[in-house]
Amino acid sequence: MMAVTSSCKEGNNIAMDNGKYVRYTPEQVEALERLYYECPKPSSMRRQQLIREYPILSNIEPKQIKVWFQNRRCREKQRKEASRLQAVNRKLTAMNKLLMEENDRLQKQVSQLVCEKSYFRQQSQQQAGLATTDTSCDSVVTSGHQHHLTPQHPPRDASPAGLLSIADETLTEFLSKATGTAVEWVQMPGMKPGPDSIGIVAISHGCTGVAARACGLVGLDPTRVAEILKDRPSWFRDCRAVDVINVLSTGNGGTIELLYMQLYAPTTLAPARDFWLLRYTSVLEDGSLVVCERSLNNTQNGPNMPPAANFVRAEMLPSGYLIRPCEGGGSIIHVVDHMDLEPWSVPEVLRPLYESSTLLAQKTTMAALRHLRQISQEISQPNVTGWGRRPAALRALSQKLSKGFNEAVNGFTDEGWSMLESDGADDITLLVNSSPGKMMGINLSYSNGFPSVGTAVLCAKASMLLQNVPPAILLRFLREHRSEWADSGIDAYSAAAIKAGPCSLPMSRGGSFGGQVILPLAHTIEHEEFMEVIKLENMGHYRDDMIMPGDIFLLQLCSGVDENAVGSCAELIFAPIDASFSDDALIIPSGFRIIPLDSGTDASSPSRTLDLASTLEVGTAGNQTTGDRSGRCGNSKSVMTIAFQFVYEIHLQENIAAMARQYVRSIIASVQRVALALSPSNFGSHAGFQSPPGSPEAQTLARWICQSYRCFLRMELLKHEGTESILKSLWHHTDAILCCSMKAPPVFMFGNQAGLDMLETTLVALQNVSLEKIFDENGRKALFAEFPQVMQQGFMCLQGGICLSSMGRAVSYERAVAWKVVNDEENAHYICFMFINWSFV
């Protein structure tokens, strides 16, 4: 045997069979290094070809080159593992520091509660003694009312000296919330600290307004972190604009800014919010950077911001960011958000949206940390992702989609939106926008000299209340089964409207809807949001008078599909795009937003889905009883907002308005039908009823896969195999397991979570990935050369190599196993592959 392990330490020495080392020249090492980056695992034929192509390697035997590449891969693996362990160690060290600080804060809070308990016990004893001698209840009533009275504070001085006083007070109050006990914090349900978690997240209990706090670690320096967080519209999707009205410098090197901020309304049933703020940036004695904010609603002797039409003035209590440099690089961040969103101004059914600290944490506090982690990853791994786009460009597209949808939902008059008269029913609101600013973006999107087909944009929007339907499951259905609610004629019209050419009114034609293909594009670190391209096939024959391609493409943004995320908002936003998919493409988004209204519900909803297309959907918590369902979502409520936009020619406004009303009403009817089918009441109310984690077909296939593995390889695939947990165990298996058909060409029919992650696809889109696409030329040759072995002996083992994900990324795997999947009658149905120890190159 060749001494491979010992030679991993020396790059220029290779140990051979006789124990002697072969020393390479620097030129040979440089040539081999270049070849390694081109192909880290060359085949035997490739190694011989390298010797012929590179004269400098002519005196080296193929066996020596093979050993060099083995050692080079060994060193690379050791380097990556050492780097990973160092990063994990830094995270654990920083997390340990955060936990120790949190423990100190909790001990202080316990001491404070003990003192308060002792004080209240003494007070109650004294009052009990007084009650025996004083029969008057006036004092008791008076004290009770005084507790709820809001004192009328005089207006505060907003002169420069007064603003500095307010800034210092804001800093003190913010720090007491970030690291002290000014607010009683409770851990947010479902959030557990760890090296891979977003951080420590807590929500307020029993304080004025809503408040959330998060502590985390990011790999960015404090100055960069402060710069990013100050640019709130870049990461807070609900933020419409932040205008800096005035800037003052303080004597201690700090900065005071007066800001006017506007937030979008999340639904059509509530007005938007705005804030008049003071922001104070300073550096503490220990070198920490602080950015804190508060409202300036009650001031005099200084600048003021009068109320704006269509906005409700909300209040921000002392909030902000404490950013401390971390040893070894990066920053430790404390984020505090504390607001009074004036819930009295919205209908009572919507007030939980403005009284939920959990929702504030999800949409604001955690969004800040997620955005910082995303940028940190993009800086450390500046790779080109799907469709040749860099992460920053894809992030800009997702923000463009979200902002366009928010503008449609809110319909601000200063953006040029005006309301059309109702047709007698108040269920659908129609707005039109033909302002030059809106249409300029449409006209600029065409560079071929043709005029734009539209001169205005019409938006049809509505909101509806849903009951007993988990938002994540409903949104997943809308995403995966577009044909259940969308109209092919409307999709064809919307796609034609963003092109230069004739465009007629859409007319429904039964059966004209083509197939839907989901093409993954990008996702965030925690997969809470992802972007994809939807291809609607075979649409070219829809109308003869439309200039249309054979396929229609939609850019789609999806978030909130995880049922285990507490209080999260679920969104499905999409817009037709041209096949060229340029960065400055016209984006006219439409879509759905579903927000849970149960602020007090901290438990996650179960995983169930009404799957009409794929019978292999697997959940993470589907084996819970209906009794759990009734407790978790039996009385749950959520509000769905629907907004669809159409580009049109102004003389067709009346016809387009009638079409839009009819279309949105048909979508509402479809959603109500689906919601009724997804309601827990349709699954019975017996406490003993148990829902399987997937369909019967999926459970049967999982059983066949495990039985066939045991039969042909004489070992168990799963460590703990039970009749009710085979599918769940297979789904969570650490290695990538993919099952493909035996028909030509072989396409994948099923994959576990690791397999889907490796291919960067979804269960629905998996069937569009063929076996040939994931292997390179050498891999395909090796596979087809040994494929008959599977049919003869039932399995084969493949050496490690490189395969490709659906997004074109290289994936290395240590080894792979393929085996024949037979049914109970021993008839072969599928070929199953297991890729062991895979990772992205």
| Residue 135 domain-assigned (yes or no) | no
| Residue 822 domain-assigned (yes or no) | yes
The answer to whether 573 touches 591, Cβ cutoff 8 Å, is yes
Last residue within a domain, chosen from 678, 710, 728 = 678
**pLDDT band at residue 791, thresholds of 50, 70 and 90?**
confident
Residue 588 has pLDDT above 60, yes or no: yes
- CATH number of the domain where residue 171 is located: 3.30.530.20
List beta partners, residue 819.
795, 832
**pLDDT band at residue 528, thresholds of 50, 70 and 90?**
confident
**pLDDT band at residue 384, thresholds of 50, 70 and 90?**
low
> For residue 542, which of 503, 581, 572, 579 has the smallest C-alpha distance?
503
The pLDDT of 7-24, averaged and rounded, is 55
Other CB atoms closer than 10 Å to residue 505's CB: what's the count?
A: 13
DSSP 293-360: EEE--SEESS------TTEEE-EEPSEEEEEEE-TTSSEEEEEEEEEE--GGGS-GGGHHHHH-HHHH
Residue 619 has pLDDT above 70, yes or no: no
Of 334 and 800, the structure prediction assigns the larger pLDDT to 334
**pLDDT band at residue 625, thresholds of 50, 70 and 90?**
very low
The pLDDT of 705-728, averaged and rounded, is 80
Of 105 and 473, the structure prediction assigns the larger pLDDT to 473
Other CB atoms closer than 10 Å to residue 707's CB: what's the count?
A: 17
- C-alpha distance across the termini of the chain, in Å: 29
The answer to whether 617 touches 698, Cβ cutoff 8 Å, is yes
| Same domain (yes/no): 750, 778 | yes
Please give the structure tokens belonging to residue 126: 């004294």
Report the C-alpha gap between 224 and 153 in whole angstroms.
38
> For residue 64, which of 30, 25, 13, 26 has the smallest C-alpha distance?
13
- The dihedral of CA 219, 224, 229, 231: what is its sign? negative
Last residue within a domain, chosen from 619, 644, 678 = 678
Whole-number pLDDT of residue 610: 32
| Same domain (yes/no): 71, 217 | no
Residue 557 has pLDDT above 50, yes or no: yes
| Same domain (yes/no): 87, 214 | no
Tens digits of per-residue pLDDT, 745-767? 788 888 888 888 888 777 777 87
The pLDDT of 309-317, averaged and rounded, is 93
Residue 302 has pLDDT above 90, yes or no: no
| Residue 608 domain-assigned (yes or no) | no
> For residue 54, which of 86, 75, 32 has the smallest C-alpha distance?
32
Q: Provide the residue type at 194 as one letter.
A: G
Please give the structure tokens belonging to residue 284: 């503490």
| Same domain (yes/no): 753, 648 | no
* b/e sequence 29-55, b meaning 16+ C-beta within 10 Å: eebbeebbeeebbbbeeebeebbeeee
Report the C-alpha gap between 119 and 134 in whole angstroms.
22
| Same domain (yes/no): 164, 68 | no
| Residue 605 domain-assigned (yes or no) | no
Tens digits of per-residue pLDDT, 24-54? 888 888 888 888 878 888 888 878 877 888 8
Most confident of 131-135, 607-611, 777-781: 777-781
The answer to whether 256 touches 248, Cβ cutoff 8 Å, is yes
- Domain count across the chain: 4
Range of the domain at 55: 32-113
Peptide bond into 436 cis (omega under 30): no
| Same domain (yes/no): 347, 199 | yes
- Greatest Cα pair distance in the chain: 110
Backbone angles phi, psi at 196, to 5 degrees: -105, 0
Lowest mean pLDDT among 201-215, 628-642, 682-696: 682-696
Of 513 and 284, the structure prediction assigns the larger pLDDT to 284
Map 20-61 to HEC letters. CEEECCHHHHHHHHHHHHHCCCCCHHHHHHHHHHCHHHCCCC
Please give the structure tokens belonging to residue 156: 């505060």
The answer to whether 460 touches 644, Cβ cutoff 8 Å, is yes
Tens digits of per-residue pLDDT, 688-702? 333 334 567 788 888
What is the CA 16 to chain-centroid distance, rounded?
51
Residues near 659 by beta carbon (within 8 Å), at least 6 away in sequence: 490, 505, 506, 646
| Same domain (yes/no): 363, 305 | yes
The helix/strand/coil state of 657 is helix
| Same domain (yes/no): 248, 171 | yes
Taking each helix axis from N to C terminus, what angle separates 44-53 and 62-131, rounded to the nearest 10 degrees? Answer: 120
Taking each helix axis from N to C terminus, what angle separates 471-480 and 653-678, rounded to the nearest 10 degrees? Answer: 120
**pLDDT band at residue 519, thresholds of 50, 70 and 90?**
confident
Residue found by looking up tokens 């503008």 in the block? 407
Residue 540 DSSP label: T
Q: Are strands 331-340 and 529-536 parallel, antiparallel or unpaired?
A: unpaired
- CATH number of the domain where residue 459 is located: 3.30.530
Whole-number pLDDT of residue 305: 85
What is the CA 250 to chain-centroid distance, rounded?
39
Residue 310 has pLDDT above 60, yes or no: yes
| Same domain (yes/no): 334, 207 | yes
| Residue 713 domain-assigned (yes or no) | yes
Report the C-alpha gap between 293 and 316 in whole angstroms.
7
Task: Determine what percent of the chain is predicted with pLDDT higher than 90.
Answer: 26
Whole-number pLDDT of residue 627: 37
Please give the structure tokens belonging to residue 790: 């599977």
Q: Kindly report each contact of residues 316-319 with a partner whose C-beta sits within 8 Å and lies 24 or more positions away, as own/partner.
A: 316/275, 316/277, 316/340, 317/173, 317/208, 317/209, 317/211, 318/170, 318/173, 318/174, 318/177, 318/292, 318/293, 318/294, 319/174, 319/177, 319/292, 319/293, 319/294
Strands (E), 165-307: 185-187, 200-204, 210-218, 239-249, 255-263, 272-283, 289-295, 299-300
Please give the structure tokens belonging to residue 471: 């938002």
| Residue 462 domain-assigned (yes or no) | yes
The helix/strand/coil state of 67 is helix
Residue 63 has pLDDT above 60, yes or no: yes
Report the C-alpha gap between 611 and 682 in whole angstroms.
15
Residues near 564 by beta carbon (within 8 Å), at least 6 away in sequence: 190, 604, 620, 621
Q: Where does residue 835 rank: exposed (0-12), middle (13-18), buried (19+ CB within 10 A)?
A: buried
Residue 721 has pLDDT above 80, yes or no: no
Last residue within a domain, chosen from 628, 649, 678 = 678
Residues near 760 by beta carbon (within 8 Å), at least 6 away in sequence: 520, 805, 806, 807, 809
* b/e sequence 454-473, b meaning 16+ C-beta within 10 Å: bbbbbbbbbbbebebbbbbb
Report the C-alpha gap between 183 and 204 in whole angstroms.
7
Of 282 and 422, the structure prediction assigns the larger pLDDT to 282
Whole-number pLDDT of residue 454: 67
**pLDDT band at residue 558, thresholds of 50, 70 and 90?**
very high
Please give the structure tokens belonging to residue 462: 């509505």
Whole-number pLDDT of residue 55: 81
| Same domain (yes/no): 566, 465 | yes
Residue 290 has pLDDT above 90, yes or no: yes
**pLDDT band at residue 383, thresholds of 50, 70 and 90?**
low
Report the C-alpha gap between 568 and 634 in whole angstroms.
18
Q: Provide the residue type at 29 as one letter.
A: V
- Please give the C-alpha separations between residue 646 and each of 72, 435, 676, in angstroms, as whole numbers: 57, 15, 29
Please give the structure tokens belonging to residue 547: 């200039």
Residue 649 has pLDDT above 80, yes or no: yes
The pLDDT of 310-321, averaged and rounded, is 94
Whole-number pLDDT of residue 461: 95
Lowest mean pLDDT among 53-62, 129-138, 273-282: 129-138
Q: Taking the CA atoms of the chain, what radius of gyration do you get in angstroms?
A: 31
Lowest mean pLDDT among 16-20, 80-84, 276-280: 16-20
Residues near 424 by beta carbon (within 8 Å), at least 6 away in sequence: none
DSSP 498-518: TSSS--PPP---TT----EEE
The pLDDT of 517-530, averaged and rounded, is 83
- Please give the C-alpha separations between residue 414 and each of 218, 293, 308, 467, 548, in angstroms, as whole numbers: 38, 27, 11, 35, 35
Lowest mean pLDDT among 154-163, 246-255, 437-446: 437-446
Lowest mean pLDDT among 65-74, 496-505, 518-527, 587-596: 496-505
Please give the structure tokens belonging to residue 758: 């490796």
**pLDDT band at residue 482, thresholds of 50, 70 and 90?**
confident
Tens digits of per-residue pLDDT, 676-692? 887 765 443 333 333 33
Residues near 105 by beta carbon (within 8 Å), at least 6 away in sequence: 179, 180, 181
Residue found by looking up tokens 């607001």 in the block? 339
How high is the mean pLDDT of the chain? 78
Residues near 748 by beta carbon (within 8 Å), at least 6 away in sequence: 738, 739, 740, 741, 759, 766, 767, 769, 770, 771
| Same domain (yes/no): 351, 480 | no
- Please give the C-alpha separations between residue 632 and each of 413, 421, 675, 678, 741, in angstroms, as whole numbers: 41, 41, 16, 14, 39
Q: 72: part of which helix (H) or strand (E)?
A: helix 62-131
| Residue 118 domain-assigned (yes or no) | no
| Residue 577 domain-assigned (yes or no) | yes
Residue 574 has pLDDT above 60, yes or no: yes
Residue 836 has pLDDT above 50, yes or no: yes
Q: Where does residue 787 rank: exposed (0-12), middle (13-18), buried (19+ CB within 10 A)?
A: middle
| Same domain (yes/no): 371, 456 | no
Report the C-alpha gap between 596 and 608 in whole angstroms.
17
Residues near 364 by beta carbon (within 8 Å), at least 6 away in sequence: 212, 236, 238, 337
Backbone angles phi, psi at 783, to 5 degrees: -65, -50
The pLDDT of 156-178, averaged and rounded, is 89
Residue 507 has pLDDT above 50, yes or no: no
Report the C-alpha gap between 745 and 725 in whole angstroms.
32
The pLDDT of 649-654, averaged and rounded, is 88
